Amino acid sequence: MSADTPQQGHRVADSVTQMSQLVLPHEANVHGSVLGGTVMHWIDLAAAVTANRHCRRPVVTAAIDEMSFEAPIQVGQLALLCGRITLVDRSSMEIRVDVESEDLLSGERRHTSTAFVTFVALDTETGRPTPVPPLILETEEERAENARAQERRRLRLERRQAAKQRASTEARRRAPA
């Protein structure tokens, strides 16, 4: 499919991804809970699968907008990840990943982490960003999450622009006269 081919929209439900990981001792810190970097790796994988399911193209991680660790996941517990697409732009997609822990003996679950990860779809021949299908929002919850995602995108682009301006100012300041 070329970048010029019109694409049908896809529903949020079409790309929802659920993963589970049993936390093993080699993934733990000295406190007996999974390493934060390991959770981030799992989040990136769940988000990548979600993005890939939406566009059916290779994808790359472009940004992690927010990442919060609210509770630890202990060795022997199950980490449950759920990725869902929240926003689609021309070639990018924001994916929300929620993480829960499950105690396998009691069945008790609790929310442990949330992340918002942006992916860019790539053309298989050129490796350049390529358009992705539009997102079909079916529920009020999906529309509300999409509105919050649009605000996160606006703020992310503002931060990026401000960082570029700071870097440019700093480069001019350091340049020999």
- Give per-residue pLDDT as tens, 87-126: 999 999 999 999 999 999 999 999 999 999 999 999 999 9
- 129 close to 60: Cβ distance less than 8 angstroms: no
pLDDT digits (tens, 9 = 90+) for 21-49: 999 999 999 999 999 999 999 999 999 99
Which domains, from first to last, does the chain contain?
10-174 (3.10.129.10)
Round to whole Å and give the CA distance between 140 and 15: 18
C-alpha span between 23 and 30 (Å, rounded):
14
* SS3 of residue 133 by DSSP: coil
Instruction: Grade residue 2 by pLDDT with cuts at 50, 70 and 90.
Output: very low
- Asked whether the beta carbons of 23 and 83 are under 8 A apart, the reply is no
Q: Is the pTM of this model over 0.85?
A: yes
